């Protein structure tokens, strides 16, 4: 296997001249689990840890290696273990606000070509949650592909209604399939191309791990029986990169209960292209789409072209992203101020 088979394309090769040092190799992070890493090179996958220098220079959790990152590594113990020294710049990424009250970014994955946003046609179907995933993908320059699973649990008319809702929310490709009957699975397989990296995103129990097992042709990863509601239960506990037999790479991720956004203004606009296009036709350039005369967005809502709940979702995400961005910038200023204080104390202690 070559590095190019793992997605190391000319874009990354251009970065290598500045980053790579003698006696170190290039590898890709294939799994992260509570600060422990696995990295994959041309010949094998080995456990790794970050160097002391890298740990010291990291200013934010965003700077830590995440699944899909390309890194420079120094091997030891007969090449059975490694130390990660540098992280390559990211071509694309998936991130969200850290869970809970802490306002910071949490990296989900890096260097993803396309994200499969998986929603069940049954209880998990949630257009507003889909909006958040679409914004997350747009924010990180990742192509979204929507997958509706468990089509066997609904009627053909119900499926068409859901496809229409998704079609109104995004221009992305949409696939409908059933892990139980196999319907739509071949079309899904055909989207997976060699040397390209894909990520599965979705709530717990929507069938992400079952999809991977079906691709592998074996129950390589644990799944649990569906609950009384007809939905599966959460099993994936870590992020990992799987190389499939056809050469594509697929990343499974744990189900995420929270999908907060930080500084995702551009991503929101890209995820709501229809609204942005409508806004361009408003009479006033700074139209708030509330009560101004000549508002193209309000006119579209009143005529039924634009769903009211979709517009509400757009406004909510805009406000949330801006609010968290202010908190994040304030936190970063405090962190840097504290860092300068610590350095000044150390400097005085030397004299």
Quick: pLDDT tens for 248-283.
Answer: 999 877 665 556 555 566 777 777 888 888 888 888
Q: Does 342 reside within a domain?
A: no
Q: Does 340 reside within a domain?
A: no
- Structural tokens at position 269: 């606009």
CATH number for the domain including 141? 3.40.50.300
Q: Does 214 reside within a domain?
A: yes
Residues 50-66, mean pLDDT to the nearest whole number: 87
121 with 229, same domain? yes
Name which of 288, 296, 308, 250 is nearest 116 in CA terms.
250
32 with 103, same domain? no
Strands 70-76 vs 45-50: parallel, antiparallel or unpaired: unpaired
Question: pLDDT confidence of 231, banded at 50, 70, 90?
Answer: very low
pLDDT at 347: 56
Residue 195 φ/ψ, nearest 5 degrees: 65, 10
Q: Does 41 reside within a domain?
A: yes
199 with 52, same domain? no
Question: pLDDT confidence of 329, banded at 50, 70, 90?
Answer: low
Q: Tally the domains of the chain.
A: 3
pTM check: above 0.85: no
60 with 30, same domain? yes
248 with 99, same domain? yes
Question: pLDDT confidence of 335, banded at 50, 70, 90?
Answer: low
266 vs 229, higher pLDDT? 266
How many other β-carbons are positioned within 10 Å of the β-carbon of residue 303?
8
- Tell me: pLDDT of 233 over 50: no
97 with 243, same domain? yes
CATH number for the domain including 51? 2.40.50.140
Residues β-bridged to residue 95: 107
Mean pLDDT across the chain, nearest whole number? Answer: 81
Quick: pLDDT tens for 83-96.
Answer: 999 999 999 999 87
163 vs 331, higher pLDDT? 163
- Structural tokens at position 263: 């500084």
Residues 217-228, mean pLDDT to the nearest whole number: 49
State the alpha helices, DSSP H only, in the chain: 10-19, 52-57, 127-139, 156-169, 185-190, 208-216, 265-271, 273-279, 296-303, 308-350
Q: Among 252, 284, 319, which residue terminates a domain?
A: 252
Residues 6 or more apart in contact with residue 118 via CB below 8 angstroms: 147, 149, 200, 201, 202, 206, 207, 208, 211
Quick: pLDDT tens for 299-327.
Answer: 988 888 888 888 888 888 877 777 766 66
Angle at Cα 319 formed by Cα 313 and Cα 322, nearest 5°? 135
166 with 26, same domain? no
Q: Among 87, 119, 152, which residue terminates a domain?
A: 87
Q: Among 204, 221, 252, which residue terminates a domain?
A: 252
81 with 103, same domain? no
197 with 311, same domain? no
Gap between the terminal Cα atoms of the chain: 55
Percent of the chain with pLDDT over 70: 79
179 vs 295, higher pLDDT? 295
Find the domain containing 28 and state its range: 3-87
202 with 115, same domain? yes
pLDDT at 261: 59
Residues 37-62, mean pLDDT to the nearest whole number: 89
68 with 165, same domain? no
Question: pLDDT confidence of 128, banded at 50, 70, 90?
Answer: confident
101 with 244, same domain? yes
């Amino acid at each position: 296997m070559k590095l190019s088979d793992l997605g190391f394309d000319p874009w990354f090769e251009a970065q290598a001249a500045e980053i790579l040092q003698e006696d170190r190799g290039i590898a890709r992070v294939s799994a992260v689990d509570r600060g422990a890493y696995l990295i994959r090179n041309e010949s094998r996958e080995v456990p790794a840890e970050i160097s002391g220098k890298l740990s010291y220079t990291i200013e934010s959790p965003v700077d830590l290696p995440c699944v899909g990152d390309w890194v420079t590594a120094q091997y030891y113990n007969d090449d059975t273990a490694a130390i990660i020294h540098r992280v390559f710049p990211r071509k694309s990424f998936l991130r969200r606000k850290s869970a809970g009250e802490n306002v910071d970014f949490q990296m989900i994955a890096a260097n993803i070509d396309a994200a499969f946003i998986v929603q069940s046609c049954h209880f998990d179907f949630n257009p507003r949650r889909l909006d958040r995933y679409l914004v997350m993908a747009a924010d990180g320059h990742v192509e979204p592909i929507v997958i509706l699973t468990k089509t066997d649990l609904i009627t053909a008319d119900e499926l068409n209604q859901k496809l229409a809702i998704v079609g109104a929310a995004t221009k992305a490709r949409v696939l409908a399939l059933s892990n139980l009957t196999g319907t739509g699975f071949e079309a899904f397989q055909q989207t997976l191309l060699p040397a390209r990296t894909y990520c599965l995103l979705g709530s717990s129990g929507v069938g992400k791990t079952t999809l991977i097992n079906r691709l592998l042709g074996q129950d390589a990863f644990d799944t649990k029986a569906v609950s009384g509601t007809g939905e599966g239960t959460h099993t994936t506990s870590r992020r990992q990169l799987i190389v499939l037999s056809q050469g594509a790479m697929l990343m499974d991720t744990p189900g995420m209960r929270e999908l907060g956004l930080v500084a995702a203004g551009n991503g929101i606009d890209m995820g709501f292209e229809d609204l942005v296009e409508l806004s361009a036709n408003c009479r006033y350039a700074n139209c708030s789409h509330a009560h101004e005369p000549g508002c193209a967005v309000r006119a579209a809502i009143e005529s039924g072209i634009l769903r009211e709940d979709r517009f509400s979702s757009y406004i909510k995400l805009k406000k949330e992203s801006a609010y968290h961005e202010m908190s994040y910038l304030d936190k970063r200023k405090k962190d840097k101020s504290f860092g300068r204080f610590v350095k000044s104390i150390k400097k005085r202690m030397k004299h």
